Amino acid sequence: MSTLDDLRSAIEAEVASGLLPACQFAVGLDGAVVAFESFGTAGTTDRFCIFSATKPMVSLTVALLIDEGALALTDTIGEHVPELAAAGLGDITIEQLLLHTGGFPNAPMPGADGGDAVLRRAAFTTWRSEWEPGTRFEYHAESAHWVLADLIERVTGRDFREVVHERITAPLGLRRGLGLALDDTGDICDLVSVTPETDEDPILRFNTAAVRASGNPAGGAFMTAAELASVYQALLHNRAPGAGASDGHTAIWPDHVLTDLTTNIRCTLPDPMMGVGANRTLGLVLAGDDGLHEMRYAIFGHHCSPGSFGHAGMHGQVAWADPASGISFAFVTNAVDADMMRSGMRSNALATIASALEL
């Protein structure tokens, strides 16, 4: 077993090395955040870009719209997005978008263009298929979720950033994290290059107000570690943070939608980057019982149970929940490190300590 002191010591050593300018961790249990600390230059009110840990919130929004009949998993994107039909991508299904099997992983969205529906759809017309949809898994870092954002707008008639907040973060009592107002950036820890190779990293565009406002649905939400850990407690218990199990709470989301998102592995195709089965639900990664869970983007600790679910974020962001222990864990940092193996090993080491916590 491990303690919070073990977690603190491991993080403090990384900060002392100069590789973590600012970071936070949070641990959730029984519907509440029970530990939350900041390190380096960060305070506990500071927010971080959580990168791809954004994706499950957008995916859950789409899953809710599917459950309500506004969309269907078998719908092709050409039925809703004519610009993609014209680009030859119209036969891709919504399920393939959610599972990263759509076949256009590297389609670009310049700068902050995606936040503007006209510019976003103009970019869609330039996209092309890279392989046959459904035949393989390859992580769609940004492309698929820009389409999901557009689908949200098409079927609701509303800004996708507002819809995600209304459906996901607002019911949890959390502030809006996706699509920040231009004057709502004073408490954000800017990304910092910790190696010379990252000085021109395009990921640093997330330091600009325009990109933060665009609400990149694949990686542009800003949260504290406590807020992120709260999201995963809600995914475990389907109740607002702080509500007790005996409070007679009303479920935030339909139970069957949440069960599908957190338990139903729909894609086991091999991940070419990690060399293991992808273990993808409609929006999350499941640890699985094959003993290879630590290789699934380094988010899961050694002691995480097979039912653990979560999602990583670039440069070492971690978010998961373990139904067996009831723990949710989040780690966020502003470090941009060219050595992705190093940041991945750090994430796994911290997740392993968290997965063995005795609270």
Q: Token match 């014209």: residue?
A: 86
pLDDT grade, residue 201 (50/70/90)? confident
The whole-number average pLDDT for the span 21-47 is 97
328 is a domain residue: yes
Q: Measure Cα distances from 218 to 114, 136, 139, 166, 283 in Å.
A: 11, 20, 11, 18, 11
Clarify whether residues 188 and 230 are in a common domain: yes
CA distance 36 to 313: 19
Q: Each residue of 53-78: pLDDT tens digit?
A: 999 999 999 999 999 999 999 999 99
Give the pLDDT of residue 140. Answer: 98
Domain holding 44: CATH number?
3.40.710.10
Output the six-digit token pair for 33. Answer: 């955040």
In this structure, the answer to whether residues 204 and 280 fall within a common structural domain is: yes
Q: Output the pLDDT for position 278.
A: 97
DSSP assignment string, 261-301 = HHH---B--B-TTTSSB--B-SS-EE--SSS-GGGSTT-S-
Q: Among the listed ranges 78-82, 176-180, 244-248, which one has the minimum average pLDDT value?
A: 244-248
pLDDT band at residue 247 under the 50/70/90 scheme: low
Q: Write out the two tokens for 118.
A: 């006209």
Give dist(CA 178, CA 154) in Å, integer.
18
What is the mean predicted confidence (pLDDT) over 251-273? 97
Number of domains observed in the structure of the chain: 2
Least confident of 30-39, 181-190, 299-308: 181-190
Neighbours of 327 (CB within 10 A): 27
- To which H or E segment does residue 94 belong? helix 94-99
- With a cut of 80, say whether residue 200 has pLDDT above it: no
Q: Phi/psi class of residue 338: alpha, beta or left (left: φ > 0; alpha: ψ in -120 to 50)?
A: alpha
Is residue 34 situated within a structural domain? yes
Instruction: Flag whether 350 is in a domain.
Output: yes
Residues 41-45 have a mean pLDDT of 96
Do residues 118 and 193 share a domain?
Answer: no
Q: Above 70 in pLDDT, residue 249?
A: no
| Confidence label for 250 from pLDDT (cuts 50, 70 and 90) | confident
117 belongs to a structural domain: yes
Cross-strand bridge partners of residue 25:
37, 331
Does 246 have pLDDT greater than 80? no
In this prediction, what percent of the chain has a pLDDT beyond 90? 91
Are 95 and 198 members of one domain?
no
Give yes or no: residues 41 and 86 share one domain.
no
Residue numbers of the domain that contains 73: 59-160
- The mean of the pLDDT values for the chain is 95
Q: What tokens were used for 9? A: 């010591």
pLDDT in tens, 102-156: 999 999 999 999 999 999 999 999 999 999 999 999 999 999 999 999 999 999 9
pLDDT digits (tens, 9 = 90+) for 270-313: 999 889 999 999 999 999 999 999 999 889 999 999 999 999 99
Which residues, other chains included, contact 13 with Cβ-Cβ below 8 Å and sequence gap of 6+? none
Mean pLDDT, residues 239-263 taken together: 83
* pLDDT for the residue 248: 55
- Cα distance between residue 297 and residue 273, in whole Å: 9
Amino acid at 173: G
Neighbours of 157 (CB within 10 A): 8
pLDDT number for residue 197: 83
Cα–Cα dist 312/284, whole Å: 9
Note the helical H segments in 194-309: 209-214, 225-237, 255-263
Q: Is the pLDDT of residue 319 over 90?
A: yes
Asked if residue 202 and residue 341 are part of one domain, the reply reads yes
Same domain membership, residue 279 and residue 346: yes
